[in-house]
């Protein structure tokens, strides 16, 4: 991938992820309305609101709540999808966003779209005035305080068979096909390897078969990306590099080796190394990813853009520290259960939760 394209993508994604709908942005750092609208339009290249909304089976007459709506990109789509029926409520803490949505709704003739300014902390009284078929949050979950209490209260405002839809930055699959800067060379190299190579050993059976066929089958790049992302969050992945059969002292520089050993010691002390990826909290997952990134960088860096981690986009602390697994545990405690997931891009997922039946 050309360097200018890489830098452009990183800049756009850093802008996308670091500041999103008004909840999280300090007053002194709030972007102007015009810029916020432009950023939300850029964001949709990665979030793909249309894809998410099409998958939600929106039907006439539904009542939809868009929390942290920003300038209203998704809210407009919901209102248009309802074709004049039902109600869409867009809420944000920024008055300029809310005013823009009201003005734009009038301009577009969307009589079923309403917006309101809500308080920045806690459950606003506005929410209790309605009952909802669908509650939608796009990258706003991390902005909320006391989330178990918040969504516990929200659960009482949901209609029967309602859904809670949360779009969040996908911090696990940090590779995409675009990051294979030398895909042919990578495929050729792996096709010559055996299971002494930790990367080859941890490939799925289907991917190994594709490599055996010399990578001529379609889908081999996507298969590699999927397997690499799984390796990246595997707490056991390090073993392949520290075994007597494969580990070489010159794999790392001295500082890198000290860093790797420090990460291993920390993970061991925290009891992480015996867990599965879905049992790790956000802190442990970041440490595992840091460790495994070292192996990717040192062994496969020549085949991958940006030295082996081109898609590891700089994210704001709140977004980067929001783990999907932590979110699922919190929502479970608030009275929800996992329903399904929509993978919309290498960077974002839409997770659908439903209320538990008492």
The share of the chain scoring above pLDDT 70, in percent, equals 77
Cα–Cα distance measured from residue 86 to residue 218, given in angstroms and rounded to the nearest whole number: 44
For residue 17, pLDDT beyond 90: no
Residues 252 and 323 in one domain: no
Residues 145 and 84 in one domain: yes
pLDDT of residue 74: 95
Residues 221 and 288 in one domain: yes
For residue 242, pLDDT beyond 50: yes
Q: Which of 233, 223, 207 is nearest to 312 (CA)?
A: 233
CA angle 162, 166, 170 (to 5 degrees): 150
For residue range 27-84, what is the model confidence (pLDDT) as tens digits?
Answer: 334 568 887 788 777 667 667 899 999 999 999 999 999 999 999 999 999 999 999 9
Residues 160 and 27 in one domain: yes
pLDDT of residue 282: 66
For residue 307, pLDDT beyond 60: no
User: Residue 273: which pLDDT band, with cuts at 50, 70 and 90?
Assistant: confident
User: Residue 265: which pLDDT band, with cuts at 50, 70 and 90?
Assistant: confident
3-state per-residue secondary structure call for 175-202 = CCHHHCCCHHHHHHHHHHCCCCCHHHHC
Residues 69 and 147 in one domain: yes
Q: Tell me which of 142 and 98 has the higher pLDDT.
A: 98
Antiparallel, parallel or unpaired: β 132-138 and 336-343: unpaired
User: Residue 306: which pLDDT band, with cuts at 50, 70 and 90?
Assistant: low
pTM higher than the cut 0.75: no
| Both tokens assigned to 229 | 């992302």
For residue 278, pLDDT beyond 80: no
User: Residue 288: which pLDDT band, with cuts at 50, 70 and 90?
Assistant: confident
pLDDT of residue 315: 37
For residue 3, pLDDT beyond 80: no
Residues 154 and 228 in one domain: no
For residue 20, pLDDT beyond 50: no
Q: How many domains does the chain have?
A: 2
Q: Which of 293, 300, 312 is nearest to 176 (CA)?
A: 312
Instruction: Read off the CATH number of the domain in which 141 is found.
Output: 3.40.50.150
pLDDT of residue 170: 60
Residues 293 and 192 in one domain: yes
What is the average pLDDT value for the chain, to the nearest integer? 80
pLDDT of residue 108: 97
CA dihedral sign of residues 332, 336, 341, 344: negative
Provide the total of helices (H) and of strands (E) in the chain, helices listed first. Answer: 15, 7
Residues 148 and 285 in one domain: no
CA-CA distances (angstroms) from residue 264 to 248, 260, 278, 320?
Answer: 17, 6, 19, 21
Residues 7 and 156 in one domain: yes
For residue range 194-227, what is the model confidence (pLDDT) as tens digits?
Answer: 888 889 999 999 999 988 886 566 788 889 988 9
pLDDT of residue 303: 86
Residues 160 and 209 in one domain: no
Residues 166 and 24 in one domain: yes
Give me the domain span that covers residue 332: 3-172+318-355
pLDDT of residue 48: 83
Q: Tell me which of 23 and 84 has the higher pLDDT.
A: 84
Residues 285 and 200 in one domain: yes
């Amino acid at each position: 991938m050309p360097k200018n394209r890489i830098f452009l993508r990183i800049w756009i994604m850093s802008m996308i992820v670091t500041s999103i709908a008004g909840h999280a942005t300090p007053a002194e750092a709030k972007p102007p309305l015009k810029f916020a609208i432009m950023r939300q339009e850029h964001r949709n290249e990665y979030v793909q609101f249309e894809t998410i909304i099409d998958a939600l089976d929106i039907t006439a007459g539904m009542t939809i709540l868009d929390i942290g709506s920003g300038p209203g990109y998704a809210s407009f789509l919901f209102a248009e999808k309802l074709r004049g029926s039902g109600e869409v409520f867009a809420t944000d803490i920024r008055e300029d966003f809310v005013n823009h949505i009201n003005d734009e709704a009038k301009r577009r003739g969307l009589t079923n779209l309403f917006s309101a300014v809500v308080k920045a902390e806690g459950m606003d009284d506005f929410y209790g005035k309605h009952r909802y078929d669908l509650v939608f949050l796009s990258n706003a979950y991390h902005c909320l305080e006391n989330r178990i209490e918040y969504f516990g209260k929200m659960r009482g405002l949901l209609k029967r068979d309602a859904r809670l839809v949360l779009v969040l930055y996908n911090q696990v699959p940090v590779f995409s096909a675009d990051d294979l800067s030398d895909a042919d060379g990578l495929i050729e190299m792996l096709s010559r390897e055996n299971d002494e190579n930790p990367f080859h050993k941890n490939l799925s059976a289907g991917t190994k078969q594709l490599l055996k066929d010399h990578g001529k089958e379609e889908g081999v790049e996507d298969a590699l990306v999927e397997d690499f992302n799984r390796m990246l969050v595997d707490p056991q992945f390090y073993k392949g590099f520290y075994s007597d059969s494969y580990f070489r002292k010159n794999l790392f520089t001295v500082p890198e080796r000290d860093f790797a050993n420090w990460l291993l010691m920390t993970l061991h002390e925290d009891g992480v190394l015996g867990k599965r990826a879905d049992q790790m909290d956000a802190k442990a997952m970041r440490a595992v990813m840091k460790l495994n990134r070292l192996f990717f960088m040192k062994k496969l860096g020549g085949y991958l853009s940006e030295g082996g981690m081109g898609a590891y986009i700089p994210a704001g602390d709140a977004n980067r520290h929001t783990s999907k697994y932590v979110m699922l545990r919190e929502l479970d405690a608030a009275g929800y259960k996992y329903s399904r997931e929509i993978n919309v891009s290498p960077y974002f997922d839409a997770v659908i939760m439903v209320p538990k039946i008492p």
